[in-house]
Structure 1
Amino acid sequence: MLQKSYRIIITGRVQGVGFRPYVHSVAGNYGLMGSVSNNEQGVIIYVSGEKQDIFRFYKKIISNPPVVSKIGSHHIEEINFKKYDNFKIIPSNKKNKLNVQLTPDFAICDECKKEISDPSDRRYLYPFTTCVNCGPRWSITQTFPFERENTSIHEFEMCEDCYEEYTNKLNRRYHSQTNSCKKCGVKLTLANKNGKLIKSHYKQTFKYIGGLISGGKIIAIKNSGGYLLCCDATNPVVVNRLRINKNRPNKPFAVLYPSLKLLKDDVGINETQEKALLSAERPVVIVTAKNIKDKLASKEIAPGLNQLGVMLPYTAILQLLANELTVPVVATSGNIHGSPIISDKKEAQSNLSEVADYFLHHNLKIANPQDDSVIKYTGKFNHEILLRRSRGYAPNYSVKPVKTDEKIMALGADLKSTVAFLPNDYLYISQYLGNLNNYDVYKRFTETSSKFISLFEQEPEVILSDKHPDYLSTQYANELCQHLGIKNRQIQHHKAHFAAVLGENELFNSNDPVLGVIWDGTGYGDDGQIWGGEFFKYEKNKMGRITHFDYFDWLAGDKMAREPKLSMLALANMDMYPIVEEKFSKEKQIIYQLLKEENSLKTSSVGRLFDAVASLLNICDYNTYEGEAAMLLENKLQDYKLEEYKIYCAGLIDNIIPTKSIFKKIVRDHKKGMSEQQIIGNFFYTLANYVFQIANFYKIKKIALGGGVFQNAVLIDMIREIGEEGYDLFFNKNLSPNDENISYGQLMYYLNCRNDN
């Protein structure tokens, strides 16, 4: 039969996922000749053979690609016939600028897990065992395409055995760019807090560390994305010591379980949670801790909460540690509270020597440090909420191309900062970076922005930032624009939140209007006030604010977000002065002065309303971490029945939601001695009902909900339960509802709402 030649181009997450060796293998099965290589767009295949075999081959690789790949688009076209002697993988030869998805890190696969536990295998106990299906990708990426020479593992030259695997098309490590073994690969060193090396044969290292953990020691372990601080999660004394050393008084720690079996024995999880825990992303999953065994030091791990963040080993290092453990361990970011995760040996030894007793270092450079990602599911609807988007997810957003002629960089907000960049057909969103008020976080933020520009060899033509003039991200945007000679477009914070939900759910072309319900802690409003309880309407590329929670005083600047009792004070009335005097007994003169002064700065923040309720109920007067008061309120209401609650307020006053009236009625119930669970339930129910009151008033059936308040699982369940019939509800899906999505929202707003006034 007549031989033909075709060119096939496949885009999406197709580099660093074993796509080329897979194509090579399938081509051999069909007796086809040609080549496959990575290019700036993805994977390009040239193939010659009989037409029917080529199309069978094409259908096979598209319909059944490698497990961790994600195909965005694919195209086949006939070209002039070319005769090939064989089918081969051609090393990438970068000719143009990068226009391909980057590849996130993948959790250790079952095959690699077996090898490191098998004494007869040559990778037995080797802590950097990977293959085409698993291992670090983004964390070691220096440039692209994803070839070994473009990663930090390039410093380790493969030995003969590894190279034989790499070139053997029948081997699982055929063209695995991260291939190494204990003969040629990454080396571990164990040191005490003073930096003195501890001699230990690699076969005994993890057994030794397991013994240290059992003995109540804190170990800083350099993992794939940075250092983790680990200690025995069943030992309350050492967990408290870690809290003190790390300067993290109340924020929950994540717990690493050695095995799924032990996790299931200790904690009740459902099928959805189990699937997430075993996924290639392997995030921390927040579970309700109702059934936790007493042996776990849960009060010390998650003070005041009946929730627990759990995870399973996702690297060979953690798996080898797990093999030596019989108890779960705390595994929290290696940093001082508020600083970014540390990945450098010298920095770790210097900054964490007062935190950890021992250090497990390795000599593989981490190019892109990353925290663990965190997700949770609501109790009634199993609705997924991504709380932190980092390892396993970043830096890609979607395999779907975003079309624009401009190269755009969005710099997000200050809290939970991220950077979004659109230099080509794809949108890239960095891993979670943190609070820019911390110098080290700000430094990493600027470095990440610069790395994106360098990696894609493209300078942005437009910079997007928040409207808040004091945000460091806004100030950096101004500096960058001045340096590059380009324009800076500022996007209002809550409009960016709304645009993020619209973008994620492809609602910009909706034929019907969409109500935006955007609730969070703070954001600089168009009127110069502090917004945070907003309702917007989007229709035909126009977005406008239609109502909001009534303003109340913003007291004591940034201190208000840290001290919920100030929010209570701002909403207080005459009946509350006994409560106010008790809360502020040591600050009476200051408080009286605050109350006398006319405060021109106001807020509509629902986040601060949560704070006020938490303080009134004596649940939280000081936030030691962002959102602590709101989390503690949610924690009191894990099991609820909607019919047991009442609405504190209904309707609007002067087209505004009466914030002070809501709070006044909460105070009334508190004075009557109503249980805190009932008051919190009524409060949540009131908020949920206002969503639909506003929707009905404006006759809108599509509702998009975003902002940090919608990290609250109980509130989301209530809203979904009330709006099950008659409404279309939309939430963030692949991004967190908190400020991590602001950079994406800024970009979506800019592309779709340019005619908004």
Structure 2
Amino acid sequence: MPKTFKIVITGRVQGVGFRPHVFNLANTFQLNGTVSNNEEGVIIFITGDEDVVHSFYRLLTEHPPVASKIWEHHIAETKHKTFQGFSIVPSKKSGKLNLQLTPDFAICEDCKTEITDQTNRRYQYPFTTCVNCGPRWAITNTFPFERDHTNLVSFQMCPSCSKEYGDPKDRRFHSQTNTCPDCGIQLQLSKADGAIISAEYPIENVAKLIKEGNIVAIKNTSGYLLCSDANNADAVRSLRKRKNRPTKPFAILYPSLEILKSHLKTNTVEDETLASPESPIVILQKKDFKGELALSELAPGLNQLGVMLPYSGILHLLAKELEIPIVATSGNIHASPIISDEKIAHRELFNVADYFLDHNLKITNPQDDSVIKFSSRNKEKIIFRRSRGLAPNFDIKIKKDKKILAMGGHLKSTLAFLPNNYLYISQYLGNLDHFDVFDRYIQTAEKFMELFEEHPEVVLVDKHPSYNSSRHGIELAKKLNSELYQIQHHKAHFASVLGEYQLFKKKSPILGVVWDGTGYGDDAQIWGGEFFSYQEGTMEHVGQFGYYDWLAGDKMAKEPRISFFSLANEKMQDEISAKFSKQEIAIYNHLKKKEVLKTSSVGRLFDAVASLLGICDYNTYEGEAAILLENQITDYKLSQCKSYCPEITNGIVPTKELFNNLYVDFKNGRPKEEIILNFIFSLAMIVIKMANQNKIKKIAMSGGVFQNTTLVDMLKELAGAEYELYFNRNLSPNDENISFGQLMYHQHIKN
């Protein structure tokens, strides 16, 4: 006797071809029923012999569509229903959203083949997608994921596309983003002054313009990119000048993995990441580079390049026309958010781009490219920026008592929202000092609340009283009558790692090592070199780097020479005189005598070392001195390194003595690379010493300093099998993880 069953599947199951997959599988098993999306995921009603239905269910859940991620699945017998065949029925939303959102996917191999095949009707159509690829979050307004909930609702499918959409054997069966040249999105090429350039295939013209040395602003599927010939030093210099970006490295778009590998050495994990559906920028070592790029202009003073492969139809077609690497940097003015609107782009980038390639698909959620690096020796993955392809989902189980909005930090801001059974972490938003970034940040918070039709019952903010994220959170909590909690910055960092690895229930103690540039401490000083212990719900501050003077406020982070001045003693006056005028020396000495604000920042310690060694006195972008410092390292032997750190007493690392010992080697003429290696080795040894002093074998590390891959590699080698090390793996160690850490702290820490 046939029975009817209800199957519920939750997770990332919308916008990934799940319903077409269910349809075809049900027909293979000759089962009747329906499948639809709703506010919680995919709902299936199916009638057939019980053993056949369970075979169908097992195969479906064990082998779902490639782009899907099943969170939970349930099957239960329900009231008997008779169905005529099996069908996909329109989605019905009967409650508030309770499902994972769908990120953007890189163009798949099948679609790439189609748009470069002269016999295919989608030849040179840059917005070709299918159920396995294309923009999702970028163009979505609400869920369940249906065409009329995206910006593609403006484009009615032609008969050919409709036929594909309705054909169960077609790859575009029920593809919500399906379009073609006859019914789809249109490109338009224009000069900076707005004059339209008529062209049947505008991308051919764009390729020609780039090769001629022009800068072209291209509206991609997640926002604008500024593009120029990466071989043309003059064009790259011009882009730097116009964008007001003097030294920060540019991302390079390579036409193919084959061309990339002919220029740079890559390993398997880097190759797989570059070609993944997320398709991020991957930072690669440029040792033994064999190409002809304008390296000095692309990544001034660096031995690494950030590279990516074409992840959209526009970029794939452009790469095919060019067959050379190009600069593909975020379309914005320095420090502003990525632009996605044509009018704003033409207004803001008028003096940057020579030409604009626009299209008429609205982008609701603009995103920067994600950035990832792997450590040289241990291939430890470090996320530098979490955005396109990775946001806004976060795969972790969380016990929810109340709806929570965590406001995050200030410089590398993100938001974390827990409105239902899932956690959502926004894409990287940026430095909230800048009005446009702060405005985007506020819009993102409002978007989350609107999308899920929920207001937070709890708002979490950083303890820093001047952070714009904290101020906005306080205002929001007051407006919504929500509970408000302040969470210390570095404790949130530590909690982010504990949360990623779900370590809160571990019985044995865990050492937290949190090193960054700045954070408001519990004693109202500027923390940044902190040690904590965690055990069974209690987190305690157990040590830190010894305090030194915090001089000139935020200027200290922009001028590494000021960090050097703060740590310098009477032996270092020759070096001070070479970096400061007599008037400046008098001013800073006066500040030193009066200054009551102190810092334990390891980030500023990196700055001081970089300044002493003549590597960087002024940062033109955040973290420049530390990046240039690590950049001096070519290789190392751990056995040949020595520590500059004296004994650690009562949990206090003697910062000034460490710096003085390093200075002695500098005065004795030791090579810079050797001093830097010894410095980083000293930091790694400090972690091990602190673990030993506290009798702890599990160590969790976070903060921007742990983007230093040499430090990570040294720690892993020193730890061996004796210690268990935990680094942020699915979040960046920098302040992007603060929102998640705030939420984890609030959920799990008693004190």
The TM-score, its normalising length taken from structure 1, stands at 0.98
Structure 1 residue 4: Cα displacement? 1.2
Distance change in 2, residues 1:691/1:596 (3 Å): closer
In structure 2, what residue type is equivalent to 1:72?
W
Residue 616 in 1 paired to residue 612 in 2? Answer: yes
Match of 2:93 in 1: 94
Of residues 616, 630, 633, the one that matches 2:626 is 630
* CA deviation profile, 1:586-611 (whole Å, cap 9, x unmatched): 64354454355221000000000000
Match of 1:604 in 2: 600
Structure 1 residue 260: Cα displacement? 1.1
In structure 2, what residue type is equivalent to 1:519?
W
Moved more, 494-503 or 284-293: 284-293
Distance 2:443 2:590 in 1: 41
Match of 1:40 in 2: 39
Of residues 364, 367, 384, the one that matches 1:367 is 364
SS at match of 1:92: coil
For 1:532-571, list aligned pairs within 5 A. 532-571=528-567
Structure 1 residue 461: Cα displacement? 0.4
Of residues 340, 352, 359, the one that matches 2:349 is 352
Match of 2:304 in 1: 307
In structure 2, what residue type is equivalent to 1:317?
I
Of residues 688, 691, 707, the one that matches 2:684 is 688
Unaligned runs of 5+ in 1: none
Match of 2:231 in 1: 234
SS at match of 2:393: coil
Residue 714 in 1 paired to residue 713 in 2? Answer: no
The answer to whether the Cα contact below 8 Å between 1:101 and 1:426 also exists between their aligned partners in 2 is yes
Distance 2:352 2:361 in 1: 23
Match of 1:580 in 2: 576
Distance 2:268 2:32 in 1: 44
Taking only the aligned residue pairs, the percentage that are identical comes to: 57
Of residues 257, 264, 268, the one that matches 1:267 is 264
For 1:58-77, list aligned pairs within 5 A. 58-77=57-76
Cα root mean square deviation, aligned: 0.9
Residue 79 in 1 paired to residue 85 in 2? Answer: no
In structure 1, what residue type is equivalent to 2:285?
T
* CA deviation profile, 1:363-398 (whole Å, cap 9, x unmatched): 100000000000000000000001100000000011
The answer to whether the Cα contact below 8 Å between 1:651 and 1:693 also exists between their aligned partners in 2 is no
Match of 1:426 in 2: 422
Distance 1:124 1:100 in 2: 36
Residue 251 in 1 paired to residue 248 in 2? Answer: yes
* CA deviation profile, 1:185-225 (whole Å, cap 9, x unmatched): 111100101111111113xx111111111100100000011
Distance 2:248 2:156 in 1: 42
Structure 1 residue 46: Cα displacement? 0.6
Match of 1:639 in 2: 635
Distance 2:22 2:668 in 1: 71
Match of 1:207 in 2: 204
Moved more, 125-134 or 51-60: 51-60
* CA deviation profile, 1:496-543 (whole Å, cap 9, x unmatched): 000000000110001111000000000000000000000000011011
Structure 1 residue 695: Cα displacement? 0.4
Residue 28 in 1 paired to residue 24 in 2? Answer: no
Residue 380 in 1 paired to residue 381 in 2? Answer: no
Distance 2:498 2:584 in 1: 46
In structure 1, what residue type is equivalent to 2:257?
L
Match of 2:668 in 1: 672
Distance 2:584 2:207 in 1: 53
Structure 1 residue 724: Cα displacement? 1.4
Match of 1:506 in 2: 502
In structure 2, what residue type is equivalent to 1:57?
F
The answer to whether the Cα contact below 8 Å between 1:638 and 1:714 also exists between their aligned partners in 2 is no
Residue 177 in 1 paired to residue 173 in 2? Answer: no
For 1:440-589, list aligned pairs within 5 A. 440-585=436-581, 587-588=583-584
SS at match of 2:225: strand
* CA deviation profile, 1:403-452 (whole Å, cap 9, x unmatched): 21200000101111001000000000000001000100000000000000
SS at match of 2:692: helix
Structure 1 residue 640: Cα displacement? 1.2
For 1:262-301, list aligned pairs within 5 A. 262-301=259-298
Distance 1:595 1:153 in 2: 59
Distance 1:633 1:64 in 2: 47
Match of 1:124 in 2: 123
For 1:692-703, list aligned pairs within 5 A. 692-703=688-699
The answer to whether the Cα contact below 8 Å between 1:381 and 1:717 also exists between their aligned partners in 2 is yes
SS at match of 1:8: strand
The TM-score, its normalising length taken from structure 2, stands at 0.99
Distance 1:722 1:478 in 2: 43
Distance 1:661 1:593 in 2: 20
The answer to whether the Cα contact below 8 Å between 2:157 and 2:183 also exists between their aligned partners in 1 is yes
In structure 2, what residue type is equivalent to 1:462?
V
The answer to whether the Cα contact below 8 Å between 2:651 and 2:690 also exists between their aligned partners in 1 is no
Structure 1 residue 322: Cα displacement? 0.7
Distance 1:549 1:510 in 2: 27
Distance 2:397 2:575 in 1: 56
SS at match of 1:143: coil
In structure 2, what residue type is equivalent to 1:66?
P
Count of residue pairs brought into register by the alignment: 751
Match of 1:341 in 2: 338
Moved more, 418-427 or 58-67: 58-67
Distance 1:228 1:427 in 2: 29
Distance change in 2, residues 1:455/1:586 (3 Å): farther
Distance change in 2, residues 1:407/1:714 (3 Å): same
Match of 1:196 in 2: 195
SS at match of 1:618: coil
